[in-house]
Structure 1
Amino acid sequence: MANSEQHRPEIVVGLVATPPDYPAQVVARLAAELAGRLAEQVDPDIRWTVRAGWGEVAPRRDGGVEALLDDLARRRADARWDVAICLTDLPLHTERVPLVAQASARRRVAMVSLPALGLRQLRALHAAVPGLVGRLLADASQERVPRTGGAPAELTGQVAAIHRVIGEADAGELGYVASRLAGRLRLLTGMVRANRPGRALLGLSKLLAGAFATAAFALTTDTIWEMGDALGGLRLTVIMLLGLTALVTWLIIAHGLWERPGGETPAELARLFNLGTILTLTLAAVVSYLVLFAGTALVAALLIDTSVLEQNLKRPAGLADYLTLAWIISSLATVGGTIGSGLEDEDTVRAAAYGYHPEPGGWRDEKDT
């Protein structure tokens, strides 16, 4: 058995995460099972070896996908891998539609843009990466690499994010693109997923604590009770939206989260980065608001007796009145908490910026081992 294993041809597949932040987590999960999937989907007679590593902390933005593939090709040659696949969180475009993946047989490398896959990224990668590896091997010119893989169009049926294939199929330079409308929506949701809004939510812990303190004080003010009863649902909704907008705007301005276009960052990429930052912070702010609303409603029900509330409102009170009270207090506390958002830890809040990536920590980079 050992002798037959040694006589099977070996193909080394390199998985590279750039930047080594969220993509590194995906690479770690994918690398653990990729060899088995390659044997199942590409060729069971090959001895598959998977190497995992990372690329630049701040990947090149000015050269687009070609610069990324050039960097990956150098990494593949230095590490002596047969083929290499790069997973990146960069939102890339070609022909004004989101680019899901790009394969280059000449360089024997391919790239997958994680945001373009949408929310269910790991499931899509299980089909996309073996398909790309098989495509690269099928188009490889070296005889030591077996010719495997199906037609380029097969990935369009296996990966929902891929709408069509563009490029030179004969030369092995292929781009896999999404549809214009659904692809853009999938890209935005994928960007929020890659930006990990839960991390931004934890970064707003001091703000949430300050908002709770403001809400607790407001609960003791009967003027707020009367104000909430007098305002209609439309006005309460406007106050809530203004509070959330002020919070997100202040976080972006106070912590310098706005990405400016420049020589290294094209205008389109800067717009996508800023949109990803806004969506991430908005989601974190909305979740914080819901937590604040639920906590305020619970405390109001425990501390304010119905008879006391009825005495101030001069009418019978019920559950709707406690919810309305929690609604206006949460909105006002969010505005008050915005001032306290400047006290948040700078690095924690900056993690919500889509273009910001901290130095890698804890990830093992397998160069040529």
Structure 2
Amino acid sequence: MSSSVNKVKLITAPGFADDVVNEIKGELPSLLEYYVDDQVKWDFEHVTDPLTGSTGDAREILESILKNVKEDEKDFLVCLTDLPLFHKSKVVVAEAYEQENIALLSMPGLGSTPMVKRIKASIIQLVNEMYYGTSEDGATRLRDKIKEAGKEGLKVVDGYLVGNKGFEKFSPVRRETPQNGEKNIDVRFTIPSKFWGGLRILTGMVRANRPWRMFPSFVKVLVVAFATGAYALVFPSLWHLTNQYELWRMILLSFISISAMVSWIIVAHKLWESPRMETNNLKRMLYNIATVCTLIISVALFYLNLYLFFLIAVFLFIPIGLIEAQIGTEVSYQYYFLIAWVITSFATIIGALGTALESEETILSATYGYRQKQRYEQLKKKEEEEEAEH
């Protein structure tokens, strides 16, 4: 039976981190009892703080949380941010200030692996680090518990911070004890390789942007593009073009149409990060690459759905005998797939590029720069309210 209570406060940036914690916080008390200490009861509190998502300076986050949020010396604080963190050009996955029981976890540092599972595992390890301090007993106990859980078929922390499975083999996370008298930090988890660290954090940033959530904004574009393409679909000139196109030309046309739409969205909605004081060159480059990759995934989903609509339309409305009569050669039903492919590319370029997206807010919210701007405004408003109260 538990003899005492330990309080863990999860502080998250608004958005993705918030949603993930809401999904997992009900499981965490029992997991900490199993993996960390079953002689105490673990109590959780969840707080959303814009500062956690408005700065990429880990020290600034930790010091602010220590000053404004921590209420009891025994409380354990774990901050989750969707921003990339760096220390001397190395990607930082997590940091912990064991003396004050504060830890910071950068979600992009976890890469594109199953996010919910990795965050649960990371929180467990960070609380274990703070609970046992630098004692080897704590690390040994956690490793033993993980092995025990594996034998019992439990894989909740199978992908904890320092592992050697899957993508970890290429971008291993290293546990470091800061040197040179660094204050307010006792342990840091980094990725030594700049290449793999950069790739990992970029895929994590794209995941944090959640490109699949942008698709509803393309509904209006989808309707216009389909209407435009459906009109051209019944004309024999399209069938002749399809008959003359080689595979490389179709692939090139797809690439051009998707690239054109991505470029148009970036220009029309001013998504490209320009130099400004709050963002350094490295982060600005990462923000822009993450935006482009996010839009490529979203537009590719749009392209695939449009293709499926055209494929159905071709099968329903164009008899194969009519196609053969027009192009003067025998064709199989495979030809329908090629017609749908060509018209999808043309419809994307002609119809979609002149149409406004359904929800500009959804598109903007999927970019780091816009979310940063929103959080700066929230933080400023919060500070003004606190000053008014005093």
Q: Do they fold alike, i.e. is TM over 0.5?
A: yes
* Contact 1:252/1:258 (<8 A) preserved: yes
CA distance change for structure 1 residues 230 and 157 in 2, over 3 Å: closer, same or farther?
A: closer
User: Which deviates more, 217-226 or 117-126?
Assistant: 117-126
**Match 1:249 to one of 255, 263, 266:** 263
Please state how far the C-alpha of 1:56 moved relative to its aligned partner: 0.7
Which residue of the partner structure matches residue 362 of structure 1?
Answer: none
> What secondary structure, in the 3-state scheme, does the structure 1 residue paired with 2:188 have?
strand
Question: Would the aligned equivalents of 2:128 and 2:142 in 1 still touch at CA under 8 Å?
Answer: no
For structure 1, which runs of at least 5 residues remain unmatched after alignment? 141-145, 360-369
Q: Residues 123-173 of structure 1, C-alpha deviation per residue, up to 9 Å, x if partnerless? A: 122222121112112239xxxxx9973279975238847521223389862
1:127-166 matched pairs, under 5 angstroms: 127-139=121-133, 149-150=138-139, 155-157=161-163, 160=168, 163-166=173-176
For residues 58 and 328 of structure 1, do their structure 2 counterparts lie closer, same or farther at Cα, with a shift above 3 Å needed?
farther
2:20 paired with 1:12: no
CA contact (8 A) 2:262 2:292 kept: yes
The one-letter code matched in structure 2 to 1:223 is S
Find 2:337's aligned residue among 323, 338, 353.
323
Task: Tell me the distance in 1 between the aligned counterparts of 2:69 and 2:139.
Answer: 23
The structure with higher relative contact order (CA 8 Å, sep 6+) is: 1
Matched, 1:340 2:345: no
CA distance in 2, matches of 1:74, 1:148: 31
2:30 aligned to which of 28, 33, 36: 36
The partner residue of 1:73 within 63, 66, 69 is 66
Q: 8 Å contact 2:12–2:52 — kept in the other structure?
A: no
> Which residue among 298, 306, 309 is the counterpart of 1:295?
309
CA RMSD, Structure 1 to Structure 2 (Å): 2.8
User: TM-score, normalising length from structure 2?
Assistant: 0.81
Q: How has the CA–CA distance of structure 1 residues 237 and 115 changed in structure 2, closer, same or farther, with 3 Å as cutoff?
A: same
Cα deviation, 1:168-209, whole Å, max 9, x if unaligned, reads 389862110135244333322222221111111111111111
CA distance in 2, matches of 1:148, 1:54: 33
CA contact (8 A) 1:162 1:176 kept: no
Find the aligned partners of 1:298 and 1:138 in 2 and give their Cα distance.
Answer: 61
Does structure 1 conserve the Cα–Cα contact (< 8 Å) formed by 2:32 and 2:124? yes
Number of residue-to-residue matches in the alignment? 348
In 1: Cα distance, 2:219 partner to 2:242 partner: 27
Deviation at 1:323, TM superposition (A): 1.6
CA distance in 2, matches of 1:151, 1:60: 36
Tell me how far 1:17 sits from its aligned partner: 0.7
Equivalent-residue separation in structure 2 for 1:148 and 1:355 (angstroms): 43
Greater Cα offset, 68-77 or 267-276: 68-77
Secondary structure at the residue paired with 1:256?
coil
Amino acid at match of 1:10: V
Alpha-carbon shift at residue 251 of structure 1 (Å): 0.4
Find the residue that maps to 1:90 and give its secondary structure: coil
Cα distance, 1:59 vs. partner? Answer: 2.9
Residue 178 of structure 1 is matched in structure 2 by: 191
What secondary structure sits across from 2:273 in the alignment?
Answer: coil
Identity %: 29
Counterpart-to-counterpart distance in 1, 2:212 and 2:57:
29
| 1:46 equivalent in structure 2 | 40
SS in 2 for 1:261: coil
* Equivalent of 1:26 in 20, 24, 42: 20
| Residue 12 to residue 322, structure 1, CA distance change in 2 (3 Å) | same
Q: Show the 5 A alignment for 1:82-93.
A: 82-93=75-86
Q: Out of 94-103 and 340-349, give the one that drifted further.
A: 340-349
Q: Which amino acid in 2 is paired with 1:227?
A: L
Q: Which moved more, 1:162-171 or 1:26-35?
A: 162-171
2:147 equivalent in structure 1:
none
Distance in 2, Cα, partners of 1:120 & 1:104 = 26
Q: C-alpha distance in 2, partners of 1:43/1:217?
A: 67
For 1:215 and 1:253, locate their aligned partners in 2 and report how far apart those are by CA, in whole Å: 24
Tell me if structure 2 keeps the 8 A contact 1:88–1:112: yes
Match of 2:365 in 1: 351
For the residue of structure 2 that corresponds to 1:259, the secondary structure is: coil
Report the TM-score when normalising by structure 1.
Answer: 0.86
Contact conserved, 2:320 with 2:333, CA < 8 A, in 1? no
Give the counterpart of 1:262 among 276, 280, 285. Answer: 276
